Structure 1
């Protein structure tokens, strides 16, 4: 018996074509229908049909005539994504602080709020607290629930995106939490739950380096260590959605990690690990000790204040951390072979740390080009927008 022919689903083709046009406009900005047709390989009639529907829905807008040299024939009318079409609710739960914001589709933050991440209460109770804050923020800023395209919740650690569950956030919650069900039940919105590093990677794809780079490694340092792989402008997740867990590569033998295993890189180079090692040796650091005796605190949140104090033992600890991270990154790069590594996280923003990391890496590979490592252009305000791209990927493009 011959194979049964599976006909093409024209509805799916139309959705795919619509998605291609929206992604093109996101990457390139305003374009004429003729240029869109040439770029995506669709007929002019198909592009006109799809863009007419998008205009009627308010998803895109006409911006007027393109500026070009005078010539005979019809003028090119530019169209672009209407960033005011819908809003997105972004919730970023980090180990110390939780950020709530509402953005438009282009990433402009319309309002935001932050609160302490309370790990002493049940996660369900904390999520209830978050939804109460969300309702208050929307009401105070006159944002109707009907204008919200969807909501994202980004967390560290393992997630089951399909079921909207946090499996283990390591240093926040260690059990499964049905985040999407709770927040959706309270707010009546579609909720997508994603790992924070993968959300950041999605942001780079839509708003940062990913517009022009197809093979990237994102590396975050502070407070923990994490990474994400972008291949073909898509996030590589692995068989168990755990690809690029660089913070849990083996880097030692005895130190216990938040994940429950011993020897993970994060157990040695996280900001908490740095603080622990510094405090254990503070008697060998006269300048830092004097600074502490003056009423200051050596902590992970204020690491930028004390990391550059002139003590040889302090400098030695920081150098060891940077070298250890560089060594593990070199191993990861050997396996992944990216054409760019994007560095994010507040450790890389500390004066001198970024340069020290590059110098340490070159000990293992001095053939890299000057632009192989780059700092993310999205770092500022990312806590308020990292979930936007997750919602766009799921519900818009």
Structure 2
């Protein structure tokens, strides 16, 4: 009897989850259309949606003509303000805290940049995060009871930052469930779950800036590898003779050779004539519009800095396509905000691949300025959509 009860409960979770995932991608859809898409009977869909309307998870938003006199489809969508999640990104130079609703839309965000003189220990950082998270909730009139959880993403390996300690303390101080993830993997799941343009669940997601990372997406989930390091494109060795030491300790890693931090350092060496290209040295933010203009003018100094890096990047993307055979590579980052730069890299990749592959490079439609939204979306996936909207399972 117990096994039967658990089985029925799991089926209910799964069916509710299917309905919620359809509504996430297609707001304003009828019960009949949901039924057609997921293969449940109209009676089952009616029961599930009625239950979630009573719970205020979904709402009826209007009617649609069916072509039959006197009959209209009632349209449904998610009540995006039913619940919220907190997202947190931690790096060696900054932290970002934000709130999103059920649709992954940012409600409010806060960025704290660490200056070179900062000497905050981990407990001071935790207290700062908690203070800002509670402040953002208060400013937006959000009751903490409606917060499903908090996601913590980290950029790179963080070195001396004890991410597990931060996770434990955040759970204790905020009394929320915590989801922990590498920021690139979290962004890849955001691409799958919330991108309107996403058409596949089998692709490579590559983030460029300030470092370099890749996630392998297969059947809508991340391939982790034995030590959760599968897809570390930034730590593939592309020039063993290079005079660079990566943060991983190896020589000649792709990230060490093409990272925005290295680009900023090279631009600094050029003196005041090119200093305007650096928007924020500490965060390694580059004015790519101006860079693009200089590349179009064939400025030899800037071309010497970027051309080799783009070539190494393109070779690595081409090799990744050959190794993993994805439908495409989805690229994310401020560097791609300039169509000309994206096209330059894309052309190089096509040149290396030749005509024997159907894979291609695709530009992500996600906001390249907000890493923390990725892990917030991961919280929504794990603590809301995958469990059918139940807060406690």
Q: Which runs of 5+ in 2 are unaligned?
A: 386-393
Deviates more, 1:194-203 or 1:211-220: 211-220
| Partner Cα separation in structure 2 for residue 344 and residue 319 of structure 1 | 19
Q: Which runs of 5+ in 1 are unaligned?
A: 1-5, 158-167, 283-287
Structure 1 residue aligned with 2:364: 376
- 1:361 equivalent to 2:349? Answer yes
| Partner Cα separation in structure 2 for residue 66 and residue 243 of structure 1 | 46
Note the alpha carbon deviations across 1:149-202, whole angstroms, 9 max, x for none: 211111113xxxxxxxxxx324xx355532221112111111211111111111
Structure 1 residue aligned with 2:81: 84
User: Which of 103, 106, 128 does residue 109 from structure 1 map onto?
Assistant: 106
After superposition, where does 1:29-40 map in structure 2 within 5 Å? 29-40=27-38
Note the alpha carbon deviations across 1:42-69, whole angstroms, 9 max, x for none: 2222222221221111111112322332
Cα distance 1:174–1:380, how it changes in 2: closer, same or farther (>3 A)?
closer
Deviation at 1:307, TM superposition (A): 3.6
Deviation at 1:208, TM superposition (A): 1.1
User: 2:186·2:374 contact (CA, 8 Å) conserved in 1?
Assistant: yes
RMSD of aligned alpha carbons = 2.8
| Partner Cα separation in structure 1 for residue 300 and residue 198 of structure 2 | 43
Note the alpha carbon deviations across 1:324-366, whole angstroms, 9 max, x for none: 1111111111111111221111122246321221122122024
Structure 2 residue aligned with 1:230: 217
After superposition, where does 1:282-321 map in structure 2 within 5 Å? 282=269, 288-289=270-271, 291=273, 299=281, 300-304=284-288, 307=291, 309=294, 311-321=299-309
Cα distance 1:206–1:98, how it changes in 2: closer, same or farther (>3 A)?
same
Q: Which runs of 4+ in 1 moved over 6 A?
A: 293-298, 368-371
User: 1:340·1:374 contact (CA, 8 Å) conserved in 2?
Assistant: yes
Give me the TM-score of the superposition, normalised by structure 2: 0.85
Cα distance 1:117–1:52, how it changes in 2: closer, same or farther (>3 A)?
farther
Cα distance 1:127–1:174, how it changes in 2: closer, same or farther (>3 A)?
closer
Note the alpha carbon deviations across 1:33-92, whole angstroms, 9 max, x for none: 2222222122222222221221111111112322332336x5322222111111111222
Deviates more, 1:118-127 or 1:78-87: 118-127
Cα distance 1:229–1:295, how it changes in 2: closer, same or farther (>3 A)?
closer
Structure 2 residue aligned with 1:162: none
| Partner Cα separation in structure 1 for residue 126 and residue 201 of structure 2 | 36
Structure 2 residue aligned with 1:163: none
Structure 1 residue aligned with 2:379: 391
Deviation at 1:269, TM superposition (A): 0.5
- 1:128 equivalent to 2:127? Answer yes
Give me the TM-score of the superposition, normalised by structure 1: 0.84
Cα distance 1:193–1:297, how it changes in 2: closer, same or farther (>3 A)?
closer
